[in-house]
Amino acid sequence: MKSSGNTFWQKLWKQKALVLMSLPFIIYVIIFKYIPLWGWLMAFQNYWPGNSFFEQTWVGLENFRLLLSDPVFFDVLRNTLAMSVIKLLSGMFFSILLALVLNEVRFAKFKKITQTISYLPHFISWVVGANLVMNALSTNGIVNDLLLNLGIVDSPIMFMGIPKLFWWIVGASHVWKTVGFGAILYLASIVSISPSLYEAAVIDGASRLQRIRYITLPALKPVIIILLIINVGRLMNMGFQQIYLLSNGRVIEYSRIFRIFELDFGLKMMRYSFATAAGIFRSLVSIVLVFSANQIAKMMGEERLI
C-alpha cells in the first residue's frame, strides 16, 4: 500500500482496526435510518405493497393536493400546533418558576426532598401517566370531589368528554409530568451565577424579588432561548403518546394531531401514499420551524443551535 499516492486511502488502511470497528455501525444506520427515507418516494406514487418499485404508478404531487384539500387537514394542523404551543409555553413557564422558587429555599433538606419528588413523574411511562390523569379526572375522582365539596359545581363533570377542554388537559398533564425534570437545567444555570452579583445587589439595597428580577432571570436568558429553539423544531412532533392515550372518540375533533392522522390513514385505512405525504409535510414544517427559530435567535444576537 505504501506506493499508493492517495493519502486518504493510506490513512484508511493504517486505521483499519477503527474502520473495522465502525463498519457495522455504518451499515446499521443506513439500514435502519436511511432506507426508510427512500420510502418518502411513496408519497409521489399510488403505492401498492404487492407491486415492485418499478410497477408503482407515479402521481406527482397528487397526494399533497389531496392532503391540503382534506376537510380535516386544517383541524389536524390547528390541533398539532395549538397543543404543542400550549405545552411548550406552560411547560417552560412552570419549570422556570419552580427553579426560581427552589433556589430561594433555605432548608437544604426540604429542597432536596421536594426535588426528588418533583422528578418522579418523569420516570413513569405515559401509559401510567394517562391512567393517573383519567383517574383524577373521572366522575368520582379527586377534581370532581373538590369541585363538588367547594360548591362550585352541582354534579360531576365528565372532563375527558368535553372537546374544548382537551387541549388544556393535555397542557396541564404535560406540566404535571415534566415540571420537576425541566427545572433541572434552569437550576443548573442559576447555580452557576456568580455570588458576587448578589452580594453587590444586597449592598445596593435590592430586595429578594428585585434580585430575582434583575440578576437571576436575565442570567437564564441564554438557556431559555436555546431550549425554545430546540423545542420549536419539535412542535410538529411533540408528545404523540400522551395525546394518543388521553384522547377518545368524543374529543377527536380537538385531539387528532398529525401522527394520529398518519396512523389512521396509513395503517388502518391503508392509504399508504397519502399518509406518507402527511409525514413529509410534517417533516418539512419542522425543518422550516427550526431554521426560522435559529435565524430569529441569530438576528437577536443570541446563541444558536445550528
Footprint (CB under 8 A) of another protein, residues 155-194: 176, 179-180, 184-185, 188
When the beta carbons of 102 and 238 are compared against another protein, the nearer one is: 102
**HSE of 277, CA atoms in CB hemisphere, 13 A:** 23
x/- letters, 120..159, toward another protein (CB under 8 A): xxxxxxxxx-xxxxxxx-xxx-x--x--------------
Binding positions for another protein, 17-76, rule CB under 8 A: 17-19, 21-22, 25-26, 28-40, 42, 49
3-state secondary structure of 25: helix
Q: Give the C-alpha separation, 160 to 134, whole Å.
A: 7
When the beta carbons of 17 and 152 are compared against another protein, the nearer one is: 17
x/- letters, 205..244, toward another protein (CB under 8 A): --xxx-----------------------x-------x---
CB of 28 to another protein, least distance (A): 7
Find, among 304, 287, 150, 155, the residue nearest to 227 by Cα.
304
The DSSP bridge partners found for residue 45 are 58
Size of interface with another protein, in residues (CB under 8 A): 92
Q: Among 1, 2, 3, 8, which residue interacts with another protein (rule: CB under 8 A)?
A: 8
When the beta carbons of 82 and 134 are compared against another protein, the nearer one is: 134
Cβ contacts of 41 within 8 Å, gap of 6 or more: none
Binding positions for another protein, 237-296, rule CB under 8 A: 241, 245, 259, 262-263, 266-267, 272, 275-276, 279-280, 282-283, 286-287, 290
**If you write DSSP's letter for every residue of 191-221 in order, what string do you get?**
HTS-HHHHHHHHHTT--HHHHIIIIIHHHHH
- The number of beta carbons lying within 10 Å of the beta carbon of residue 125 is 10
Q: Give the C-alpha separation, 285 to 298, whole Å.
A: 20
Taking each continuous run of H as one helix and of E as one strand, the counts in the chain are 16, 2
Q: Exposure of 276 by Cβ count < 10 A (0-12 exposed, 13-18 middle, 19+ buried)?
A: buried
When the beta carbons of 68 and 267 are compared against another protein, the nearer one is: 267
CB of 65 to another protein, least distance (A): 19
The grid coordinates listed for 46 are 399510488
CB of 36 to another protein, least distance (A): 2
CB of 252 to another protein, least distance (A): 14
Stretch that binds another protein, among 54-62, 72-80, 161-169, 200-208 (CB under 8 A): 200-208
What percent of the chain is helix, strand and coil (3-state, nearest 5)? 75, 0, 20
Q: Among 27, 89, 101, 269, which residue interacts with another protein (rule: CB under 8 A)?
A: 101
When the beta carbons of 64 and 122 are compared against another protein, the nearer one is: 122
Q: Give the C-alpha separation, 215 to 224, whole Å.
A: 15
Q: Per this entry, what is the length of the chain?
A: 306
Q: Among 27, 61, 89, 105, which residue interacts with another protein (rule: CB under 8 A)?
A: 105
